[in-house]
Structure 1
Amino acid sequence: MLAVSIFIHELGHLLCGMLVGVKARIFSMGYGRGIWKKKIGETTYQITAIPLGGYVMFKGDEYGKKLKGEPGELLSTPPLKRMIPVLGGPFANLILGFLLLFILELTGDNSPSNKIFIDPSIESVSQAYKSGLRTGDRITSINGNNTENFEELFTEIALSKGDPIQVTYLRDGQQNSVSIVPSMYSSGGRPAIGVEPAGERRVVATFTYGEQISEWLNQKLNQSGEADQFFEKQLQDQVAEGLIPEEVVKKYEEQTQSKELKSRAVQYLNDGDVILAVNGVDVGTIPELQKELGKYQNKSVQILVDRKTYPLITPWLTERKEITVPVIAADVIEFKNLRNNEFPILNQEILSLPAYDPELSKRLGNIRINDTFYKDVPSLVAAAKNVGSNTVKVSFSGREYLSEINVRPIGLLGFKPSIKFVAEYHNKEQSVGEALVGAGNKVYQNVATTLKGIGMLFSGLLSPKDNLSGPIGIVQVAGLSLEYGWQTYLDFVAKISIALMIMNLLPIPVADGGHIVMYAYEAIAGRPLPRKVMEAIFRVGFFFLIGLGIYVSFHDVLRFF
């Protein structure tokens, strides 16, 4: 997919070069040594052993002795005319993106509707929920801009910079309006109001490559579990003899608990398993799964999953399997109807503390119930259960409230959950002309959104670590998009192609935009920059791009492990 976008980009350079008489020395499909070559005229066409992407090398593309001033040389062509083959690459990416979006529009590609879903587990922190919006509402406009689908809704919120937005929505056929201040503490630092597209949801079990490799090695080297038992006994003996400090033991226990919560189920489930039912009961969201598992604490349950048959080759092909998995018992402490008499603005409907979170033990010093401090989490849970239906005084970091307390039993399997959903779509039928207009509007929206996003990255409103991806991350997302069908995949390819156009047009030395700036200077000044200056500028651009590539690839790899 990325390789195709790059190949089309280089083909654009070649064809636009031919258009203005600039000749290519080499046009390569892929990188490395050519395994098939054919010379036509002065151009050698080749396919390499690594047919990913490609490149074009023009005749006379370097200043120096090799530049003879002959017709067909890139740098012997007038600078304004020289820009055409350089612009050809980004233009080809634009055409590819437009054509793919046009095909999708013509074939009835439908975006997720503007009907929203608010996860019950985040209602206490959802800005939308606290402002009065509810699951099933349709957001029809934001700040006066119509939002026909969820993609438009998401874009308007994400580009709000955290400023208050005016949201118009429909509920039971009646139009309402409310002002919402987006939260800046969402994943990636993007403004968000705590809403998701409406549709069918399923919980997906995910494990990092590190966790999967660790489990594979454990199965090969420690099938009987004797190594774990030996290590545990050695640890207990050294603790009894006082050879290991108590704080070290405590930290080890926290790490073990955290590992169990994140990856214990890797013994039973595969990465990407979609959970459909527990003991025959259908489950969709994470709270539904945890609630159903809570009925079987410390017991084994039958989990019906949709499993990829060949995840690396055909991730869209699945088969249903029933797996027996033991349930980890856990509790959630819920502080309901929190009232602060001194500062009513601090009142909250509910505050949930997952008692199974290893980090909770570090925060116990800030939590009081009826002025009582609890030294460990089990003591806190026991005290919360004893409260019953009474209203008690609770304190968080010295801030006092009156509250009712409920301890809700749940069950866990031991994996990091994600959500897969089939959205409720905004259906539309359109003619060829309407499809052309729709594709053009989508291209415009993609360009405008990308440029505004780049501005927010430079201003610090968006985190580069969480919002930039390299080839590794792009391949991962492409694989996920394939699971949702060819339309989702083609839409992703179109967006990547348009993003490639924009990135290449940025005035970065080495990139196409950098060359355009150089040629524009030459056209205005009547002469090129001194050779040493150009070499220095391109050297800086080269190291910048290499550094950026290493940075985004490093964080892409971290997401895997």
Structure 2
Amino acid sequence: MILLQTILAFMVALGTLVVIHELGHYTVARLCGVKVLRFSVGMGKVVFSRRFGPDQTEWAISALPLGGYVKLLDAREQDIGSLSEQELKREFCRQSVWKRIAILAAGPLANFLLAIVLFSGLYFHGVPEPVSKIQVSSEQSPAYVAGLRAGDLVTSVNNVPVLGWSDLRWKLMELALEKAPASLGVKRANRDRAGTYDQLTLSLPLDQLSSKDLEADFLSKLGMSISLPKATLAEVMPGGAGMKAGLKPGDVILQAGGKNLADAQQFTGMVRASAGQTLDLLVKRGVDELNIDAVPDVVEENGTKIGRLQVAMTGPEMQLIQTPLWQSVGRGTQKTWDTSIMTFKMLGKMLTGEVSWKNITGPITIADYAGQTSRTGAISYISFIALISISLGVMNLLPIPLLDGGHLLYYSLEVLTGKPVSERFGEIAQRAGAALLMTLMALAFFNDIVRLVS
């Protein structure tokens, strides 16, 4: 059932993005007066088609469901010798270079526009998000040395307001890529006056982070993590080790194995390390404190035996991020812009060797994420589609022959030189582009398989 949901979620996401991309090309081509012969979802042999409209455009579904295309009236691909003068005026190559640029750019721009619409809709609807309250791992960590303490609420980064945990992480990653310091606005509870807070400004250096750190959980390298509440049980699964021990929802675990617990994460770590062993717990239930002995079940995970009590813990403190429509559109546009720029920067760092090529993902990984986000909920799945739409737009703008960006490069050279690129140069570039794309696809599949196996 999970596999079926993953496949369905992937096909819906991919189909949506392909249709939107090609509709961009189709719409602008029609506006520019170019005749559209076929609109295909999928590549390869046409398996189903119908013709509609005054031009009898063929709307088709093709055999290979990874992509799509719009086929225009084009002298480079069709014999146009028998066409009337009126029809020849609608041929792609006879259009001005600016019309050709507009038609080619419309596909990626449609993907960016889709991302803006989706993000704007999410912000207008409201997105549940953990608050930007932090936990600091140790006194030796860069975060602690910078002055950050457990429970601090980060309210701004370089004077830009922080709206939640993911927003904080994103802003710090952007600065870390540039190895720029981060000035954090921090709200800290005043220990001497209950209910009051101090406003602080702290400088967090990020130049010590390596490119490899950015590929993983870079915040942990700084000694920062999301602040979790006390180890409080939200749910106790029937028949599990927790229920057998007498644990109940609402219990707060104060100690485990004689050690005071800072948060739920520490408790989870101790349970995992105590497979099949008795773990003595000090539990607060209402106003009472109880001693309970629990024996975590032995479960095998990735070849390692771990302990599980079959209980669910309460998560981090949450907030609903919701903005008026006009602000939502602005935020959606900014999010799309920032993500696009970040993607280009990461690609640039791959070319210079600063970031590993292991970050290139293919359809297997994308399908896996599609399945995971669809199971999490509509908000996560819509956010996933928006991010993949941005990635598709960026990829198609790369100056690689066969992609929209490669053709845009040709037409840009035509604008500069006043004459089109020679056919011989175009043929050589097309072959080189095909070889490069095949190499990138092979690398993406290889990375997918490695991730799947590991």
TM range (shorter): 0.7 to 0.9
Could you say what secondary structure the match of 1:26 adopts? strand
Q: Which residue of 1 aligns with 2:96?
A: 78
For this pair of structures, how many residues does the alignment match?
Answer: 381
- 8 Å contact kept, 2:41–2:68: yes
Which consecutive residues of structure 1, in runs of 5 or more, have no partner in the other structure?
A: 203-273, 302-322, 329-410
Higher radius of gyration, 1 or 2: 1
Q: Which amino acid aligns with 2:167?
A: E
User: Match for residue 362 of structure 1?
Assistant: none
Alignment of 1:372-411 (within 5 A): none
Q: 1:28 offset after TM fit, Å?
A: 1.0
2:298 is the alignment partner of 1:326: yes
SS in structure 2 of the partner of residue 22 of structure 1: coil
- Judged with a 3 Å threshold, the aligned counterparts in structure 2 of structure 1 residues 10 and 276 are, in CA distance, closer, same or farther, namely farther
Does 2:31 correspond to 1:19? Answer: yes
Instruction: Report the Cα distance in structure 2 between the residues aligned to 1:98 and 1:528, rounded to whole angstroms.
Output: 34
AA of the residue aligned to 1:527: K
Aligned residue number for residue 440 of structure 1 = 333
Q: Does the alignment pair 1:179 with 2:220?
A: no
- 3-state secondary structure, aligned to 1:427: strand
Shift of 1:296: 6.1
Q: Report the CA distance between 1:86 and its aligned residue.
A: 0.8
Residue 438 of structure 2 corresponds to residue 546 of structure 1: yes
Secondary structure at the residue paired with 1:502? helix
How far apart, in 1, do the equivalents of 2:63 and 2:379 lie? 30
Give me the identity figure in percent: 28
Q: AA paired with 1:195?
A: M
CA distance in 2 between counterparts of 1:512 and 1:201 reads 52
Is the 2:128–2:318 contact (alpha carbons within 8 Å) kept by the matching residues of 1? yes
For residues 476-528 of structure 1, the C-alpha deviation after alignment (integer angstroms, 9 at most, x for no partner) is 12222223311111112112112211221122222111111111222333322
Structure 2 gaps of 5+ residues are 1-12, 190-196, 232-239, 254-262, 281-294
* Aligned equivalent of 1:391: none
8 A contact 2:38–2:59 mirrored in 1: yes
- For residue 522 of structure 1, give the secondary structure of its aligned residue in structure 2: helix
Q: 1:506 aligns with which of 394, 398, 402?
A: 398
Shift of 1:412: 5.0
| Secondary structure in 1 matching 2:167 | helix
CA distance in 2: counterparts of 1:4 and 1:61, whole angstroms: 30
Preserved CA contact (<8 Å) 1:93 1:501: yes
Whether the 8 Å contact between 1:29 and 1:48 is mirrored in structure 2 is yes
SS in 1 for 2:60: strand
Q: Which residue does the alignment assign to 1:393?
A: none
Letter in 2 for 1:21: G
Letter paired with 1:430: T
Residue from 70, 89, 94 that aligns with 2:107: 89
Q: Deviations for 1:135-166, whole angstroms, at most 9, x for unmatched residues? A: 32111223333322223321222122344433
For residues 251-278 of structure 1, the C-alpha deviation after alignment (integer angstroms, 9 at most, x for no partner) is xxxxxxxxxxxxxxxxxxxxxxx99889
Would the alpha carbon gap of residues 324 and 141 (structure 1) be closer, same or farther in structure 2, given more than 3 Å must change?
closer
Query: Which residue in the other structure is 2:215 paired with?
Result: 188
Q: 1:278 to 1:439 in 2, by over 3 A?
A: farther
Tell me the amino acid that sits aligned with residue 215 of structure 2.
G
* Residue 166 of structure 1: aligned partner: 183
Give the distance between the partners of 2:403 and 2:242, measured in 1 at CA: 48
> 1: distance between equivalents of 2:134 and 2:226?
5
SS of equivalent residue, structure 1 residue 545 = helix
1:268 alignment counterpart: none
Higher alpha-carbon deviation: 425-434 or 71-80: 425-434
Q: CA RMSD in A?
A: 3.7
Q: SS of the residue aligned with 1:136?
A: coil
Amino acid at match of 1:496: I
Alpha-carbon distance between aligned partners in 1 of 2:241 and 2:23, rounded to the nearest angstrom: 44
Distance 1:429 1:197 in 2: 21
SS where residue 179 of structure 1 aligns?
strand
Instruction: Identify the match of residue 55 of structure 1 among 69, 84, 94.
Output: 69
> With structure 2 as the length reference, what TM-score do the two structures score?
0.73
8 Å CA contact 2:275, 2:297 repeated in 1: no
- Say whether the 8 Å CA contact 2:362–2:448 is kept in structure 1: yes
TM-score with structure 1 setting the length: 0.60
Rate the CA distance shift 1:540–1:27 in 2: closer, same or farther, 3 A.
same
Paired position in structure 1 for 2:363: 471
- Equivalent position SS for 1:413: strand
Q: How far apart in 2 are the matches of 1:101 and 1:420? A: 30
- CA deviation map 1:436-468 (0-9, x unaligned): 222222223222332333333334332231x33
Q: Report the Cα distance in structure 2 between the residues aligned to 1:191 and 1:327, rounded to whole angstroms.
A: 29
